[in-house]
């Protein structure tokens, strides 16, 4: 299995000075949470890790091979991305959308097999949207669409999963279900790297945390070392109260 890693990576945010260089190794079995205020560069980082944006400096590698030298198809067998926003390019059903996840594994013009369909259906079931498989994606609610996007990534079955705010639009039950699913995938050997806005979901489910500050500073490491009130208050410019629930910290914003 390939490890996604960065060497002295400086993401490219136009008109901003260089941010702190990132030297990350995203190991199989790990669940990473990326936290930071709006505009800190979380999505830019994710897109850079996926090879969709050029870095300003440094490199992103799968093992020792720079992403830029890998054919797109090979890359999408190794890593996949759930975007923060999606546009419906053309009318497609939920099942057809999930099956797009198989494209990196098929040759040009090859039709999906019964195994591919079964895999897509298993993913839709895991995300609790199988009952919607014949519906047009354009008719779904925000949370249903989000779950279809994660099911599509699951159908793609890359080693490394990059997710931009995967719990966006999800109700509480489905937020927990998705975090559980991601943790299970990590236990099965996948590497999970996601941007989150919910500190408490990060505290409950992530074992590694990257904090991205608006001035370009960054720090990363085990969750218990990163999720400390002082750092988080500075990160969000927001006073926090911390309580412990089931052995995990729970952060509540102070009203004044």
Ligand X SMILES: Nc1ncnc2c1ncn2[C@@H]1O[C@H](COP(=O)(O)OP(=O)(O)OP(=O)(O)O)[C@@H](O)[C@H]1O
Instruction: List Cα–Cα distances, 55 to 21, 61, 72, 86, 104, in angstroms.
Output: 11, 12, 17, 23, 24
Nearer to ligand X, 36 or 101 (CB): 36
Write down the least CB distance from residue 40 to ligand X, Å.
Answer: 4
The reply on whether position 17 binds ligand X by CB under 6 A is: no
Place of tokens 């890790």: 49
Write down the least CB distance from residue 91 to ligand X, Å.
Answer: 28
The reply on whether position 48 binds ligand X by CB under 6 A is: no
The reply on whether position 41 binds ligand X by CB under 6 A is: yes
**Choices 36-44, 93-101, 173-181, 230-238 (CB under 6 A): range interacting with ligand X:** 36-44
The reply on whether position 169 binds ligand X by CB under 6 A is: no
The reply on whether position 43 binds ligand X by CB under 6 A is: yes
Task: Tell me how far apart the alpha carbons of residues 216 and 40 are, in angstroms, rounded to a whole number.
Answer: 7
The reply on whether position 247 binds ligand X by CB under 6 A is: no
The reply on whether position 206 binds ligand X by CB under 6 A is: no
The reply on whether position 36 binds ligand X by CB under 6 A is: yes
Instruction: List Cα–Cα distances, 192 to 16, 81, 114, 172, 202, in angstroms.
Output: 28, 10, 28, 20, 12
Task: Tell me how far apart the alpha carbons of residues 180 and 182 are, in angstroms, rounded to a whole number.
Answer: 5
Count H helices and E strands in the chain, helices first: 9, 12
Question: Tokens standing for 17?
Answer: 């000075």
The reply on whether position 40 binds ligand X by CB under 6 A is: yes
Residue ranges that bind ligand X, judged by CB under 6 A: 13-14, 36, 38-44
């Amino acid at each position: 299995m390939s490890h996604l890693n960065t060497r002295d990576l400086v993401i490219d945010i136009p008109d901003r000075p260089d941010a702190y260089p990132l030297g990350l190794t995203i190991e199989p079995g790990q669940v990473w949470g990326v936290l930071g205020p709006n505009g800190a560069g979380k999505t830019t980082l994710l897109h850079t890790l996926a090879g969709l944006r050029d870095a300003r400096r440094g490199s992103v590698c799968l093992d020792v091979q720079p992403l830029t030298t890998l054919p797109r198809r090979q890359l999408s067998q190794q890593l996949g991305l759930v975007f923060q926003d999606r546009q419906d390019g053309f009318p497609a059903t939920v099942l057809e959308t999930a099956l797009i996840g198989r494209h990196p594994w098929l040759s040009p013009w090859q039709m999906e097999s019964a195994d591919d369909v079964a895999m897509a259906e298993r993913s839709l079931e895991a995300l609790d949207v199988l009952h919607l498989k014949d519906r047009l994606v354009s008719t779904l609610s925000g949370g249903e669409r989000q779950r279809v996007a994660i099911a599509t990534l699951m159908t793609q079955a890359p080693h490394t999963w990059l997710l931009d705010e995967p719990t966006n639009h999800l109700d509480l039950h489905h937020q927990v279900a998705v975090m559980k699913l991601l943790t299970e995938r990590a236990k099965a050997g996948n590497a999970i790297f996601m941007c989150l806005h919910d500190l408490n979901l990060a505290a409950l489910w992530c074992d590694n945390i990257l904090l991205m500050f608006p001035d370009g500073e960054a720090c990363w490491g085990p969750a218990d070392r990163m999720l400390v009130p002082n750092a988080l208050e500075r990160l969000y410019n927001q006073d926090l109260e911390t309580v412990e629930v089931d052995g995990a910290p729970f952060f509540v914003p102070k009203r004044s």
